[in-house]
Structure 1
Amino acid sequence: MQVDSRLPTPLLKVSGLTRYYGARIGCAEVGFELWPGEVLAVVGESGSGKSTLLKLLSTRLAADAGTIEYALLGRGLTELSRLSEAERRWLLRTDWGFVEQNPRDGLRMDGSAGANVGERLMATGARHYGEIRATAQDWLARVELDPARIDEAPTRFSGGMQQRLQIARNLVTKPRLMLMDEPTAGLDVSVQARLLDLLRELVTRYGLAAVIVTHDLAVARLLAHRLLVMQGGRVVETGLTDQVLDDPQHPYTQLLVSSVLHL
């Protein structure tokens, strides 16, 4: 039977993804599809498997079973395990972005703000210094950082500013997929609110698809179209964000929602 090439194709397709740490389950038989422009939040308590799943998706961790397929430009859905190491590295620094929970882990702290943004451009072949610098300044402005601070080191920025710089560093190559690990954790409430507003605006403006790991259901409600609820390494509930949070079906999800309501 021939496949109709006109049928819509997911950007990311995950099937049966499994990882063990010895006898302990890190992630078991996780599967989902992510579509262009869609934001998926993965929620659950510490130890639920959220971080393991994100590491598997980013290829930082090898799976014991299952597949991850990505719609490569010009090639369609391709299993990531079939890519060479060079191809995976190229994907991660061009078409994918990864926002670390601690921005210091996602920035080169001994370089300038401009160098952090420009470095990713240079990895894609950009060589004209003036153009790289101008693009870096433009992206600093887009994430609400003063372009005049382009030559300052990230160590001189606050935590919220470092997180925005990390976001600019990732978005400068216009990736189609962003992976985010607790992007607002550890920030003051007011700073967190501004960063969430910025993330929502950027996701909408650039049509990004994103997988966001968070323990904060308020973050999930604000940013995500769909939720994946994990417990003990397994997905126990999934659905549209408002639907899951307003009418949770699984006892674990009900407990998560109830704990927030009673804070």
Structure 2
Amino acid sequence: MTVTILPQPLLRVRGVAKRYGAFTALHEASFDLWPGEVLAVVGESGSGKSTLLNAIAARTRPDAGCVEYRLRDGSLEDVHGMSQARQRLLARTDWGFVHQNPADGLRMDVSAGANVGERLMGLGQRHYGQLRCAAEEWLQRVEIDAIRIDDAPRTFSGGMRQRLQIARNLVTRPRLVFMDEPTSGLDVSVQARLLDLLRQLTQELQLAVVIVTHDLAVARLLAHRMVVMQRGRIVESGLTDQVLDDPQHPYTQLLVSSVLQP
């Protein structure tokens, strides 16, 4: 008899809440994220998307709830129960974080190659030739000409900076990547090119991704599942096409109809 071993969630979020004084920014959010799955978190500005992302990425400590991550040995560990040193190690090895503003995720005055190689050095790699070779490879994978390896990101366009930030995050082969509005503020043509790149890389590397976006088109293109947030609450969740084609919650219906209106 053949025994089928079902995959286990990579990330378990249970009852995560966050308050700022009298204001509740996040109301008991819960969901699972599976290996290789892209989950979109959508909603208008102020809906709690970024608060949720920062809480599950250990950038903000929630006031209640639990965020558990499955380590490579198969064990689940409470992210907020880790020491800060362990959180930092996780963030620069098994996780990635792509910021809306690339300047927040890059060192703007050092070379593109150094930006990519820095994460590898955090894993103990010191051989200059190997670091440079890896940086060249990843620049090419994100469609940046390798001749720009010694140029600083401040000389790059906005789209190139975002692609460099992606290379910096993926060079260590993380299993989980957080993305905060990665295409926001880019021209439409640049945005389309970046989305194609993200879709290709997430599929090729089998990345698990939590992507925050206000753009439903981005969610449809990239995400397997989505959660819709309103006033700090998850009001609807499900398969992306199902939620967008047949929204059940009035707020989701409003979001979808506003996009479809001419």
Give the TM-score normalised by the residue count of structure 1.
Answer: 0.97
Q: Find the counterpart in structure 1 of residue 148 from structure 2.
A: 149
Of all paired residues, the percent bearing the same amino acid is 68
In structure 2, distance between residues paired with 1:256 and 1:201? 27
Looking at structure 2, the residues matched to 76 and 88 of structure 1 have their Cα atoms a distance apart, in angstroms, of: 16
**For 2:144, what is the secondary structure of its paired residue?**
coil
What's 2:86 paired with?
A: 87
Q: In the aligned structure 1, how far is the partner of 2:6 from the partner of 2:85?
A: 30
Give how far 1:81 is off: 2.0
The answer for the alignment partner of 2:244 in structure 1 is: 245
**Length, aligned pairs only:** 260
The 3-state SS of whatever aligns with 1:145 is coil
The CA RMSD measured in Å over matched residues stands at 1.2
Give the secondary structure class of the aligned counterpart of 2:198.
helix
The Cα offsets for residues 185-215 of structure 1, whole Å up to 9 and x where unpaired, read as 0000000000000000000000000000000
Q: Secondary structure at the match of 1:185?
A: coil
Match of 2:41 in 1: 42
Name the counterpart of 2:184: 185
User: What's the CA shift for 1:23?
Assistant: 1.2
Whichever residue aligns with residue 108 of structure 1, its letter is R
> Residue 223 of structure 2 aligns with which residue?
224
Stretches of 4+ aligned residues off by more than 3 angstroms? 4-7
Displacement after TM superposition at 1:57 (Å):
1.1
What is aligned with 1:204?
Answer: 203
What is the CA deviation profile of residues 73-120 of structure 1, one whole-angstrom value per residue up to 9, with x for unaligned ones?
115111112211111100000000000000011000011000000001
Counterparts of 1:9 and 1:257, CA distance in 2? 32
Mapping of 1:128-143 within 5 angstroms?
Answer: 128-143=127-142
Tell me the SS of whatever aligns to 1:51: helix
Give the 3 Å change call, closer, same or farther, for CA 5–70 of structure 1 in structure 2: farther
1:105 match? 104
Counterparts of 1:7 and 1:227 in 2: how far apart (Å)?
A: 22
Q: Matches of 1:101 and 1:76 in 2, distance apart?
A: 31
Q: Distance in 1 between matches of 2:107 and 2:4?
A: 42
Where does residue 56 of structure 2 map in the other structure? 57
Deviates more, 1:112-121 or 1:73-82: 73-82
- Find the residue that maps to 1:90 and give its secondary structure: helix
Match of 1:127 in 2: 126
- The residue aligned with 2:256 is 257
Stretch moving more, 249-258 or 66-75: 66-75
TM-score by length of 2: 0.97
Structure 2 unaligned residues grouped into runs of 5+: none
Amino acid paired to 1:42: V
Give the 3-state SS of the residue equivalent to 1:201 in structure 2: helix
How many angstroms does 1:8 deviate by?
A: 2.6
